[in-house]
């Protein structure tokens, strides 16, 4: 079987090593040898180690090659990759991708085009890197009504939080470190402002709840305002701060957020560090399931991609037709209004008057369980409030100072 590869970056190289260079056990477990024959890359002089493969610079050379049955699309970005995935499906080629942006944005359209052309579209690596999740989630929904998903889904921010915890580093410093070792991009927006997580959460939520949820249906709060003092104060009170994607379905009402959350140090979530991800799903029959593993990295992500390739090769051999993914449930997008909890709040204050005004707002809008006044800032722990009240409170604090941070306490 001949395969085409679009994109020869880190993950693409990992996939090439597993398939063409015989790393791992992939070739041992298929009857007919499968190789990537053509690789799309901008640089035609790039060397490939397997003489059965060549670099091409024109995507159509791959899409119009009748011998290539499966296209592995690992480019990143949005418009160009979307167009190529669509074109490949329309030309009757199976597609495996890790592109969460494309899948979350065009989920319904692309899954339908795949079915119309009787080909597979697989995207296991788009969420949770190497963690086997998409098929498991689909399986569980065949018996369960899944009503809640939560997860640490972004390796970059989790690495930053781990560094801030272990090194006492501040956010900017930890971000720079992450950029220096290639864990964060030059423009870190997608990671630290929640878009990466919300896309992954949108994919999982759409599958779990059986109706399309998009990136923009999920309320996002940036992680940028977290400081070393917050990590420290949380730890002193028995919590670790994590950047959480969290959604639930209450009848037809969908609530979804990406936000910093305080987890008790006696919880599993609080001990997921660096590039590791965890995803929790809760069903009405099975209860809570959690899946943990590497959410990023060359080999782990390539493993998920090649797993999808293997699935398609087997399905082709068995002549099993792909099944439609159903998104027919009515889902009302309710933002984050449904989340209720106590909050941890830190506000930097210049003087006593600022302090009194800010504390006054907290007392009035949320109620206060505890207050710790320190040098230049105070820490408050609120009573349980809904997200709408907390949003209103944040606005009031924002009018006093921009230098503050708050996070929901997960109970």
Q: CB of residue 254 vs a second copy: minimum separation in angstroms?
A: 18
Please state, as a whole number, how many other Cβ atoms lie within 10 Å of the Cβ of residue 161. Answer: 25
Considering CB under 8 A, how many residues would be counted as binding a second copy?
45
Give catalytic status of residue 23 as yes or no: no
> Under a CB-based contact definition with an 8 Å cutoff, are residues 126 and 100 in contact?
yes
- When binding is defined by CB under 8 A, the residue of 87, 112, 117, 291 that contacts a second copy is 291
Residue 26 structure tokens? 């992939």
- When binding is defined by CB under 8 A, the residue of 32, 45, 49, 142 that contacts a second copy is 142
State how far the Cα of 129 lies from the Cα of 68, in Å rounded to an integer. Answer: 25
State how far the Cα of 383 lies from the Cα of 381, in Å rounded to an integer. Answer: 7
305-313, 327-335, 364-372, 379-387 -> range binding a second copy (CB under 8 A): 305-313
- When binding is defined by CB under 8 A, the residue of 55, 228, 289, 388 that contacts a second copy is 289
> Under a CB-based contact definition with an 8 Å cutoff, are residues 309 and 324 in contact?
no
Q: CB of residue 389 vs a second copy: minimum separation in angstroms?
A: 31
Q: Is 351 in the site for a second copy (CB under 8 A)?
A: no
Q: CB of residue 76 vs a second copy: minimum separation in angstroms?
A: 22
Q: CB of residue 286 vs a second copy: minimum separation in angstroms?
A: 5
Interactions with a second copy, residue window 82-121 (CB under 8 A): none
> Under a CB-based contact definition with an 8 Å cutoff, are residues 188 and 156 in contact?
yes
| Torsions phi, psi for 256 (to 5 deg) | -145, 135
Q: CB of residue 384 vs a second copy: minimum separation in angstroms?
A: 24
State how far the Cα of 116 lies from the Cα of 109, in Å rounded to an integer. Answer: 10
50-58, 88-96, 143-151, 389-397 -> range binding a second copy (CB under 8 A): 143-151
Q: Is 294 in the site for a second copy (CB under 8 A)?
A: yes
State how far the Cα of 98 lies from the Cα of 122, in Å rounded to an integer. Answer: 9
Nearest to 122 by CA among 149, 103, 145, 146: 103
Show the site string, 256-285: x = touches a second copy by CB under 8 A, - = not: ---------xxxx--xx----------xxx
Q: What is the DSSP letter of 6?
A: E
> C-alpha angle with apex 166: 162 to 170, nearest 5 degrees?
75
Angle of helix 298-318 relative to helix 10-19, nearest 10 degrees? 50
Q: Which of 93, 100, 150, 200 is catalytic?
A: 200
Show the site string, 311-340: x = touches a second copy by CB under 8 A, - = not: -------x-x--------------------
Residues forming the site for a second copy (CB under 8 A): 18, 23-26, 29, 130-132, 136, 139-145, 265-268, 271-272, 283-294, 297, 299-300, 302-303, 306-307, 310, 318, 320
List, by residue number, the catalytic residues: 200
């Amino acid at each position: 079987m001949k395969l085409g590869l679009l994109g020869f970056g880190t993950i693409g190289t990992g996939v090439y090593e597993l398939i063409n260079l015989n790393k791992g056990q992939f070739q041992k477990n298929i009857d007919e040898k499968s190789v990537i024959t053509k690789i799309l890359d901008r640089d035609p002089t790039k060397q490939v180690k397997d003489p059965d493969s060549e670099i091409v610079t024109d995507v159509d050379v791959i899409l119009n090659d009748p011998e290539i049955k499966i296209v592995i699309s690992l480019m990143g970005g949005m418009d160009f990759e979307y167009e190529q995935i669509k074109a490949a499906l329309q030309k009757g080629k199976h597609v495996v991708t890790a592109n969460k942006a494309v899948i979350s944005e065009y989920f319904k359209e692309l899954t339908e085009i795949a079915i119309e052309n009787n080909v597979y579209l697989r995207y296991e690596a788009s969420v949770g890197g190497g963690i086997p999740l998409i098929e498991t989630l689909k399986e569980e929904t065949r018996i369960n009504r899944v009503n809640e998903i939560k997860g640490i889904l972004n390796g970059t921010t989790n690495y930053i939080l781990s560094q801030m915890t272990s090194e006492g580093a501040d956010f900017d410093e930890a971000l720079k470190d992450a950029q220096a070792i290639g864990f964060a991009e030059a423009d870190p927006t997608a990671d630290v402002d929640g878009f990466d997580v919300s896309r992954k959460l949108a994919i999982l939520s759409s599958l779990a709840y059986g109706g399309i949820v998009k990136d923009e249906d999920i309320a996002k709060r940036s992680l940028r305002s977290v400081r070393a003092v917050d990590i420290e104060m949380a730890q002193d009170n028995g919590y670790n701060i994590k950047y959480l994607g969290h959604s639930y379905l209450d009848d037809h009402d969908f609530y979804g957020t990406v936000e910093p959350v305080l987890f008790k140090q006696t919880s599993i979530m609080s001990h997921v560090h660096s590039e590791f991800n965890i995803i929790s799903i809760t069903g009405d029959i099975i209860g809570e399931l959690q899946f943990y593993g590497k959410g990023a990295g060359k080999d782990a992500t390539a493993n998920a991609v090649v797993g999808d390739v293997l699935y398609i090769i087997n399905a082709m051999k068995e002549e099993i037709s792909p099944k439609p993914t159903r998104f027919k449930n009515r889902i009302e997008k309710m933002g984050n209004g449904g989340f209720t909890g106590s909050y941890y709040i830190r506000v930097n204050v210049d003087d006593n008057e600022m302090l009194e005004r800010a504390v006054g707002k907290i007392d009035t809008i949320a109620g206060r369980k505890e207050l710790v006044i320190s040098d230049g800032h105070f820490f408050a722990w609120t009573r349980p409030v809904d997200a709408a009240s907390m949003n209103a409170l944040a606005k009031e604090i924002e009018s006093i100072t921009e230098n503050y941070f708050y996070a929901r306490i997960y109970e």
